[in-house]
């Protein structure tokens, strides 16, 4: 699916949208970047309006008639991806459809910037069989802070009975050198964890739900509905303390116990987390069974209820599909990617799943596409070398392996 650029002008006289050849009587101009469907035609309705620099702008919902079909389909989820608003007139590119103009964005078919959320210190280390020394965890986070990352998931305030590797969460959070340009969220499964995190100095937290009923019971020892009640309590307390909360949906593309997960289940959980107040919802392929096809189907469903700007993808690489799945997500408008240095990870409750997609490999792909991340790949490879040496293990990053063989 290609991305195309559309420019609309709203006429107060005719109450309709027309192509932006000449602004004239048109007062409202909307600049949208949308996935391109061949011969797009249909109706345009205003979903919201806002004012800036003395002008009023409108966000559109697009309803289209698919080629060869007589039934009208609403493509709000995958067509109304609102990325930017432009002031003033823009040039028009002629096309058969009299209502719109478009141009292929070529090198700009993907987001210009992708935010990397580094999950190595938490999700990456939680499955290590040998307890990682606290000082190693602190050094890992401090080194990651120097790579240009803006978000590093530091630790998890869970019961040491269930995840012994995270028993030193307070010592880790209080021991790291906090950079003013980096956020250090921590996982808090319930109010007890949230209160402990606040006492340790946390300024951002995350809650983790599941699209699989069985996985939810095995992972956090409660049903999906019960988990939502816990999360709501955490979200309300966080709001009172002005603490931002990120949400996770595990098993978004498959469950080790239930197998394939219906996208509607993922959508329901993601919607509930977003409506509770999670500023961002990360959709996790916990066991790494997803493919570009299942990723696209899941995102089409979720984006009907949750705006793309509030979504992230979290891919494990068990079947070697992580980069392909991330690429699919980028094509559909997602611009936040979770990854772990050196491909660290796994899941204590999903035996057989491999590590997270490696941050080094994600950076290499994105930078090769001309997409900015703000992260230094060479520094990230060095951090991967450090943690792998500390754990006495080999890196899972193909990029780091290739660079190492060239030395």
* 325 touches 313 (CB < 8 A): yes
Closest by alpha carbon to 191, among 249, 241, 231? 231
Q: Which two tokens stand for residue 7?
A: 């420019």
Question: Which pair of structure tokens corresponds to residue 246?
Answer: 């990120």
Q: How many CB atoms lie within 10 A of CB 193?
A: 22
Integer CA distances (angstroms), 91 to 6, 38, 140, 184, in order: 10, 21, 49, 43
- The torsion angle over the Cα atoms of residues 94, 99, 105 and 108, rounded to 10 degrees, is 160
Task: Give yes or no: 347 in active site.
Answer: yes
Which DSSP state fits 66? P
The catalytic residue among 251, 315, 335, 347 is 347
State the first-to-last Cα distance of the chain, in angstroms, to the nearest integer. Answer: 39
How wide is the angle at C-alpha 360 spanned by C-alphas 359 and 365, nearest 5°?
100
**Euclidean distance between CA atoms 328 and 313, whole angstroms:** 10
The candidate with the shortest Cα–Cα distance to 191, out of 246, 153, 229, is: 229
In angstroms, what CA-CA distances link 83 with 60, 202, 204, 337, 383?
A: 12, 31, 26, 17, 33
Catalytic residues: 347
């Amino acid at each position: 699916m290609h991305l195309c650029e559309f420019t609309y002008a709203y006429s107060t006289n005719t109450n309709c949208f027309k192509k932006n050849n000449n602004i004239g009587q048109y007062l409202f101009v909307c600049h949208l970047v949308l996935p391109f469907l061949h011969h797009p035609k249909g109706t345009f309705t205003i979903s919201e309006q806002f004012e800036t620099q003395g002008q009023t702008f409108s966000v559109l919902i697009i309803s289209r008639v698919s080629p060869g079909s007589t039934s009208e389909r609403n493509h709000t989820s995958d067509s109304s991806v609102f990325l930017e608003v432009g002031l003033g007139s823009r040039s028009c590119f002629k096309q058969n459809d009299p209502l719109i103009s478009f141009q292929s964005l070529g090198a700009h078919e993907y987001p210009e910037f992708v935010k990397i959320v580094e999950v190595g210190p938490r999700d990456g280390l939680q499955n290590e069989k040998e307890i990682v020394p606290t000082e190693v965890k602190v050094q890992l986070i401090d080194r990651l802070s120097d790579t240009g990352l803006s978000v590093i998931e530091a630790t998890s305030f869970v019961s040491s009975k269930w995840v012994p590797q995270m028993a030193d969460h307070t010592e880790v959070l209080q021991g790291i050198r906090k950079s003013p340009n980096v956020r250090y969220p921590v996982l808090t499964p319930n109010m007890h964890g949230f209160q402990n995190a606040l006492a340790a100095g946390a300024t951002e937290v995350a809650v983790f739900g599941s699209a699989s009923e069985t996985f939810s019971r095995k992972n956090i020892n409660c049903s999906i509905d019960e988990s939502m009640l816990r999360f709501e309590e955490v979200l309300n307390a966080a709001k009172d303390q002005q603490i931002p909360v990120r949400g996770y949906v595990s098993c978004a593309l498959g469950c080790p116990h239930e197998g394939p997960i219906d996208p509607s289940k993922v959508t329901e959980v993601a919607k509930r987390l977003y409506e509770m107040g999670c500023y961002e919802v990360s959709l996790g392929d916990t066991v790494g069974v997803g493919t570009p096809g299942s990723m696209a189907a899941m995102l089409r469903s979720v984006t009907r209820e949750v705006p793309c700007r509030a979504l992230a993808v979290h891919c494990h690489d068990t079947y070697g599909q992580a980069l392909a799945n991330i690429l699919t997500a980028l094509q559909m408008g997602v611009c936040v990617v979770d990854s772990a240095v050196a491909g660290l990870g796994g899941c204590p409750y999903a035996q057989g799943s491999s590590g997270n997609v490696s941050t080094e490999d994600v950076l290499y792909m994105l930078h090769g596409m001309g997409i900015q991340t703000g992260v230094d790949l060479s520094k990230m490879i060095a951090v991967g070398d450090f943690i792998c040496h500390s754990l006495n293990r080999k890196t899972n990053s193909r990029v780091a392996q290739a660079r190492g063989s060239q030395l």
